[in-house]
Structure formats: C-alpha cells, structure tokens
Structure 1
Amino acid sequence: MTVHAAPREGRARRSTAALPLLLDLVLPLGAYYGLRLAGVDQWWSLLWSAAIPAVAVVVRLVRTRRLDLLALLILTMIGLGLVLSSLTGDPRALLIREAWTGMLGGLIGVWLLASVGFGRPALMLLFRSFVQVKAGEAGLRAWEERWEEDAAFRRGVRVLTAVWGAASLLNAFAQLAFAYLLPVDAAPAAMHACWPVIAVPLFLFHLAYTKRRGLRA
C-alpha cells in the first residue's frame, strides 16, 4: 500500500492545483461562448459565466465555515456589478466589474513594488510557506538569515519582488483596458488569457533567476 500512496497523493495535489484554473478560467469562458453560440444575448451569457466563480466562493465559505474577507469582497464586487448592469442594461458593466475585481491583483503589485525600498521585500513573506514546506523549519530559518548576511541575496530578492510587482500591475491594467476598449464578445477571452500570457514568462524568469542567483532554499 505504501508503494501506491505517493502516486495517489501526487495526483490529488495536481487535481487540487488544477481546480482554480478550471473554475476561474475554463468553465466561465466555456459557459460564455457556449451560450453565445446557442443564441443567448451578451448580458445573460456574461451573467451565467460570472455565476460559476461566485458559486465556487460561496461553496468555499460554506465548507470552511470561516469568514474570508477576500471572498466576501469578491462577492460584493460581483453583486455591485450585477446591480449596475441591471440598471443600465449594458453587458459591458459586467466586464468592467470583473476588471475592477482584477485590480485587487494590481494592489498586490503596488504592495510588492513599495516593499522593495522598505525593509524585507513582500515576496519573502509570500514565499515563506513554500520555503517551509520544501526545506522545513531549519531550512526556513537559514533562508531568512541570508537576508541579514548576504548582500547579493538581498539584491536578488529585491529584483525578483520588483518583477512580480510589475507583472501584477501589468495584468490588472491590461484587463481594465480590455474591458473598456474591446468588443464585448472579444473581451472575455482577452481578459481570461491575460494572466496566463504574463505568468508563463514570469515563472520561467523566476525559475531561471532564482537558480542562477542562488536564491532558493
């Protein structure tokens, strides 16, 4: 039984990691364009595609039975967008609501960039749990102590944090521009594709840079 436990755990981790991608990208896009092909108008198609991540947030709140401020904020933004769109009858209001929800990532980008010049960059805080899982408590302490002892490490972490911050801001503003400027039927695909297009080179850069600069735990 021990022999087969590791592959099963690996498959479970991959399934868990793929679930947000399915709920946030694949299903909403599939719902929108599937409904449009079926002749449903833009407003209702956007409404049903927005319902998928909203339902996922509600299910998570019910399952965990724990107050999640980010989840509540997302639900509030969705609700406000629906009210505004209902009053105006404009499907673009739903797109704009989604884009402004995406601006939360832009705020994270601002936080990352601002932290570069003040104390330890925020990326060290965000990656702390990953380092702990990978290297354990002793490895985490050694990784954090390098900030005090190694100037090259400090410089490398600052550069990495600035790149992640810039990428987060670029994603947020690109989604906002797509929501306002593109035709309604083209905007959902562009908005959902925006982060994957940015994230692939970002992760490749992250892996290469952390290896070359010796930033990994």
Structure 2
Amino acid sequence: MTLHAAPRRTAVLLPLLIDLGLPLAVFYGLRTAGVDQWWSLLWSAAVPAVTVTVRLVRTRRVDFLALLILSMITLGLVLSALTGDARTLLIREAWTGMLGGLLGIWLLASVGYGRPALMVVFRSFVRAKAGEEGLRAWEERWEQDPAFRRGVRVLTAVWGTASLLNALAQLACAYLLPVDAAPAAMNLSWPVIAAPLFVFHLVYTKRHGLRA
C-alpha cells in the first residue's frame, strides 16, 4: 500500500458515509429524543441539501447534477411541508430515487440501439485515467473489436438492471414498511445492490479486457 492510498480511500469513503449515514443518524437520533416521525424525516431529508450546498461552496464550481439534486430536494421539502404527513414524505423520497430508475431504463434501452449508454457514462473516468489518447483508443475498440462491444453491452445491461432494481426497492420500502423502519431500508438498498455490482464490474472488466 502506498503512502497516498489511505488519504485517497478516505476521500472516497467520507462523502459516502456522510450521504448515507448522516441522514439516518439525524432521523433516528431525533426519534430517540422523542421528535415525531414527520419532523424527524423532514430534518433528515434536509441533510443532503446542506451537504450538496457545502460542496458547491467549497469547490466554487457549478455542478449541474448537484444543482439538480438540490432543486429536487428543495421542491420535495416544500411539497412535504404542505402535506404534513410522514408517509408522504417517505414516498416523495422514493420517487426522487426513481431518477435512478430512469437511468436504469436508459441504460437498458441503449443496449440494443447504437452505442450502450455506459460508453457515455464512463468517458470521464477513462479520460481521467488514460488521458485523451487513451480515451480515443478505448472508443476505437468499439468499432474494431466485437468482443469489446459484447462486453460493454453486458456491463450496461447489468448496471441498468441494478439501477432499476434499486429504484423499485426504494418504492417498495416507502409504501410497505413501517415509517420508522423505512429510512434505514431505503438507505441500505443501494449499498446492498452496489456491493455485488462493483465486484462483478471489477472482475468482468479485468477478465474481458474492458479497462482503459
């Protein structure tokens, strides 16, 4: 392990722990203190808005995805405040998560038409790792290598299925579970799905030579 490995790992894991763990800590902390379900959910839902805003201020860079997330969270909080119902707030969270479901549908639909969407999604990662020349070489393999095309289609289908499955799991948790149990289940659904997904991705891309 290099001296820089630990700081890099911390830089990757810390935002993940904040995004997943902090809203849960706020919700269950408030519930333990006797705050009702609706207010606990409302304050826990506000946490992602605060973290996104802090990141925008710290980086001083316009991140359109972050702005989209912030806008959706703000709109959801306003709508939830009008209803005053804890279950409605949970369902709002779940339907916001359906953006991932739309991403999954986009990925699956792209498998049979032109270049799979994963070729677009991963361009920035390939560029960061291999530079512009490496990116061009990686993209040229699509035209020249049938095995590469087949492998990217398989990866895209797997990622699309996982994204859609997570969105459906979020909806099921919001509609069916008790309000106090649903936040934990909704926050854990993606890590549970993502862990085997990432293992499959790493093994498959290495075995089939799909990495840049």
Q: CA deviation at 1:9?
A: 4.0
Q: Tell me the residue number matched to 2:82.
A: 87
Retained in 2: the 8 A contact 1:156–1:215?
yes
Q: CA deviation at 1:16?
A: 2.1
C-alpha distance in structure 1 between counterparts of 2:15 and 2:149, whole Å: 32
C-alpha distance in structure 1 between counterparts of 2:80 and 2:144, whole Å: 55
Deviations 1:112-152 (A, max 9, x none): 11211222111112222222333333332222111111111
The 5 Å alignment of 1:51-66 reads 51-66=46-61
Aligned: 1:50 with 2:42: no
The 5 Å alignment of 1:32-43 reads 32-43=27-38
Q: Tell me the residue number matched to 1:23.
A: 18
Q: Tell me the residue number matched to 2:170.
A: 175
In structure 1, which of residues 133, 156, 163 is the aligned counterpart of residue 128 of structure 2? 133
* Structure 1 counterpart SS, 2:115: coil
Instruction: Tell me the TM-score normalized by structure 1.
Output: 0.89
C-alpha distance in structure 2 between counterparts of 1:49 and 1:152, whole Å: 46
**Number of paired residues?**
212
- Corresponding letter in the other structure for 2:5: G
C-alpha distance in structure 1 between counterparts of 2:62 and 2:19, whole Å: 21
Deviates more, 1:126-135 or 1:109-118: 126-135
- Corresponding letter in the other structure for 1:116: V
* Structure 1 counterpart SS, 2:103: helix
Aligned: 1:108 with 2:103: yes
In structure 1, which of residues 208, 212, 215 is the aligned counterpart of residue 210 of structure 2? 215
- Corresponding letter in the other structure for 2:198: F
C-alpha distance in structure 2 between counterparts of 1:56 and 1:162, whole Å: 31
C-alpha distance in structure 1 between counterparts of 2:89 and 2:4, whole Å: 39
Q: Tell me the residue number matched to 1:98.
A: 93
Aligned: 1:202 with 2:197: yes
Retained in 1: the 8 A contact 2:162–2:193?
yes
- Structure 1: gaps spanning 5 or more residues: 1-5
The share of aligned pairs that are identical, in percent, is 78
Q: CA deviation at 1:82?
A: 2.5
C-alpha distance in structure 2 between counterparts of 1:10 and 1:137, whole Å: 25
- Corresponding letter in the other structure for 2:45: A
Instruction: Tell me the TM-score normalized by structure 2.
Output: 0.90
- Corresponding letter in the other structure for 2:54: V
- Structure 2: gaps spanning 5 or more residues: none
Aligned: 1:189 with 2:184: yes
Retained in 1: the 8 A contact 2:166–2:190?
yes
In structure 2, which of residues 149, 152, 158 is the aligned counterpart of residue 157 of structure 1? 152
C-alpha distance in structure 2 between counterparts of 1:26 and 1:196, whole Å: 12
Cα RMSD for the two superposed structures: 1.9
Retained in 1: the 8 A contact 2:27–2:40?
yes
* Structure 1 counterpart SS, 2:180: coil
The change in CA–CA distance for 1:145 and 1:90 in structure 2 (over 3 A counts) is same
C-alpha distance in structure 1 between counterparts of 2:76 and 2:125, whole Å: 35
- Corresponding letter in the other structure for 2:154: V
* Structure 2 counterpart SS, 1:216: coil
The change in CA–CA distance for 1:83 and 1:143 in structure 2 (over 3 A counts) is closer
Retained in 1: the 8 A contact 2:80–2:92?
no
